[in-house]
Amino acid sequence: MTEAFDSEPTNNIVDFKPRTHLAAEAQPAAFIQWAKQTLPKGIPNHVHASIRWEDGSWHAHGVPSCSFAALGSTKAAPKAMQAPFTEFAKAIMVYRRVYLQKKTIDGWLKALKALEAALFELTGTRDVTRVSAAVCNRACEHLSRHWAKGDNAYHYGLELEALITLMRAKKLLKTDFRWTSPLARKPRGTLKQQKADREQKLPSPEAIKALGEMFNNALIRPLDIVVTSACALLLSAPSRVGELADVELDCLVFKEDAQGNRRLFLRWYAEKIIKVTLKPVVKPEMEPVVKRVITLLQPITDEARAYATWLEEHPDEFPPHEGRPPKEPDEPLTYAEACAALKL
């Protein structure tokens, strides 16, 4: 079943009511205007004070994973949603994040990206009032092609179904229609196949044993220490590999778990929610491993931490370092001198 679009929110923000005197072509503009007025009302509980309607991404402003990029956009080849669809997409995000107070918007955003692509292909416009069943079916084709793994396309199809239900209720369509997503769950296979799939994703027992042996060796090279310690940390508290760059020196926290047992947690910056959280170490047996990781990493990162601290505290000064050239503060550096100053 699709999620109800009109879940009762717990705040006092007034819902958007379709203007009965307006034609379908004018309803989206009224909806967008409502969203622009509603967005600031989400501060500070649901969005940050830094959020701006015109920004192309709201990810850093309290709406995780919210970037108004077009379908197929990548970091190497970014491609933005186009007006007037972008304005409509932003209004939908405000409705979901601020009015309905939903924490996750990723599925709806994926559905919107596919809808924009399909709408332009079939109508030559980005006029949301011209969405039809044919447009929705084409959007599902895009979902199947771009998110082929697992049941992602199926779930995004349900989000698109909920989006169309909302658009019908808010009178945003020229021609009203009923539509359900044609995307189905993928067959899961037999229990034997499922077990084989799970085992295929796991490293072999020999690989795990070799990793343990390497970690317990008398490591000397900093690179060996960093690589094996990174593996040990991710095995102790599964996380995104990029989050390792934000691990604090003082990251170990002891507290009681839900069962009242004293357990080790890691103070961890979670990229998805853009804030620090406490992650439990998966097993008590892994707690000594985590402690050894921090013991190994501290001495080889002391210099870098001290240097970074100096740069933060003296943003307008040239950093002291070995081989510092005898130059005035405003005198240009050569490429080699700049690299030396940054310890590259």
E strands present in 149-251 = none
By CB atoms closer than 10 A (0-12, 13-18, 19+), residue 78 is: exposed
Q: Give the pLDDT confidence of 158-215 residue by residue, as tens digits.
A: 999 999 999 999 999 999 999 999 999 887 778 888 788 888 877 888 888 888 888 8
Residues 218, 266 within the same domain: yes
The sheet carrying 262-270 orders its strands as 252-256, 262-270, 275-280
Q: Answer yes or no: do 151 and 209 share one domain.
A: no
pLDDT of residue 170: 93
Neighbours of 281 (CB within 10 A): 21
Nearest to 251 by CA among 57, 134, 239, 120: 239
Tell whether 155 and 239 lie within a shared domain: no
Asked whether residue 40 is domain-assigned, the answer is yes
Number of domains in the chain: 3
* In a shared domain, residues 274 and 339: no
In a domain, 14, yes or no: no
Q: What is the DSSP string of 285-330?
A: GGHHHHHHHHHHHHHHHHHHHHHHHHHHH-TTSPPP-TT-----TT
- The C-alpha atoms of residue 228 and residue 216 are separated, in whole angstroms, by 9
Residue 95 DSSP code: I
**pLDDT given at position 4:** 40
Structural domain span for residue 49: 24-169
3 state SS of 68? coil
Domain termination site, one of 169, 196, 220: 169
For 207-236, the pLDDT digits (tens) are: 888 888 888 888 889 998 999 999 999 989
**Residue predicted with more confidence, 12 or 299:** 299
pLDDT of residue 11: 59
> How confident is the prediction for the chain on average, in pLDDT?
88
Same structural domain, 324 and 302: no
- Are 231 and 318 in the same domain? no
Torsion of CA 277, 155, 84, 35, to 10 degrees: -50
343 and 262, same structural domain? no
How many whole angstroms from its chain centre is CA 200? 27
Peptide bond before residue 84 is cis, with ω within 30 degrees of 0: yes
219 within a domain of the structure (yes/no): yes
For 296-334, the pLDDT digits (tens) are: 999 999 988 888 888 889 888 877 777 777 877 788 888
Q: Is 16 part of a structural domain of the chain? A: no
Alpha-carbon gap, residue 116 to 126, rounded angstroms? 7
Is 181 inside any structural domain? no
**Are the CB atoms for 104 and 79 separated by under 8 Å?**
no
Same domain for 336 and 218, yes or no, is: no
Same domain, 252 and 343: no
* Residue 184 belongs to a domain: no
Average confidence (pLDDT) over 274-288: 88
pLDDT digits (tens, 9 = 90+) for 61-89: 989 889 999 999 988 899 999 999 999 99
Residue whose pair of structure tokens reads 């009762």 in the numeric block:
8
Q: Would 228 be classed as within a structural domain?
A: yes
Same domain, 327 and 231: no
Phi/psi at 133 (5° precision): -60, -40
Beta strand 262-270 with 275-280: parallel, antiparallel or unpaired?
A: antiparallel
Shared-domain flag, residues 28 and 165: yes
Q: Are residues 31 and 97 in the same domain?
A: yes
Q: Which residues pair with 255 in a beta bridge?
A: 263
Torsions phi, psi of 263, nearest 5? -130, 160
Domain for residue 216, yes or no? yes
The angle formed by the CA atoms of residues 282, 287 and 292, to the nearest 5 degrees, is 130
